[in-house]
Amino acid sequence: MTIRGKICGLTDAAAVTAAVRHGASFVGLVFYPPSPRNISPEAAAALVTEVPKEIEKVGLFVDPDDALLAEVLAVVPLDWIQLHGSESPERVARIKRKFGIPVLKAIKIAEKSDMVMAKAYENIADMLLFDAKAPKTMANALPGGNGLVFDWRMMQGLEFTIPWMLAGGLNAENVTAAVTISGARIVDTSSGVEIEPGRKDPVAIAAFLAALKAIEA
């Protein structure tokens, strides 16, 4: 059983090097100015120059307009567009048609009924990502990367015709339980490998990816 890992919100060369060296399958770059992990297209392009082709590059956007997507794609060779806002199925389909790049659609989960939304994207997106929904009472909540965990048992028994990824407060200490309970085969971390918001810890990245390899053993 191979568990693939995504390290999201990368902003510096040391973190990218750690992700590549320790076996990440995906590296994520955030193009959303309110996020502490936001990065300019030019800085992102420089960061990914040393990323091998077999490691997939994901750009995270929140309700982006076409101009922003075009600006980023003009300089950053993304393999995936991650949509982490309130994009409708119709908007996801339009983005796929216009830019010709696979789309990863985030679904925010607090209770099992939230899973219903995922079905609306199943035949449109190329992959789904399940993340914890921030409570309305949470101050300065972001669309993702809040370090929150949802009940992984809600994923049990769910079947989708496209791949899916688990996110939400994952780190080296809890990812084994998350995979065991949810059945995830792809996992995503951001805040779980940070020293502070927007600043990744290469040691924590190594530990997270080592935990995934231990699950495989």
Does residue 169 have a pLDDT over 80? yes
Output Rg (C-alpha) for the chain, integer angstroms: 16
Which of the 8 DSSP states describes residue 192?
Answer: G
Count the Cβ atoms, other than its own, within 10 Å of residue 104.
29
CATH of the domain at 185: 3.20.20.70
CA distance 120 to 57: 25
Segment 19-30, tens digit of pLDDT:
999 999 999 999
Average pLDDT over residues 183-195: 95
Does residue 216 have a pLDDT over 80? no
Q: Which residues are catalytic?
A: 8, 131
Flag whether the pTM goes above 0.85. Answer: yes
Q: How confident is the model at residue 137 (pLDDT cuts 50, 70, 90)?
A: very low
- The answer to whether 131 and 107 are in contact (CB under 8 A) is yes
Q: 66 or 140: whose pLDDT is higher?
A: 66
Which residue, 204, 129, 195, is CA-closest to 174? 204
The length of the chain in residues reads: 217
pLDDT value of residue 149: 80
What is the residue-averaged pLDDT of the chain? 91
Q: How confident is the model at residue 144 (pLDDT cuts 50, 70, 90)?
A: very low
Q: How many domains does the chain have?
A: 1
pLDDT value of residue 134: 57
CA distance 93 to 124: 6
- Residues with Cβ < 8 Å from 8, sequence gap 6 or more? 26, 27, 28, 30, 37, 58, 60, 145, 167, 188, 189, 190
Which residues span the domain enclosing 103?
Answer: 4-216
Q: Worst-scoring range by mean pLDDT, 43-57, 132-146, 199-213?
A: 132-146
CA distance 202 to 13: 10
Does residue 210 have a pLDDT over 60? yes
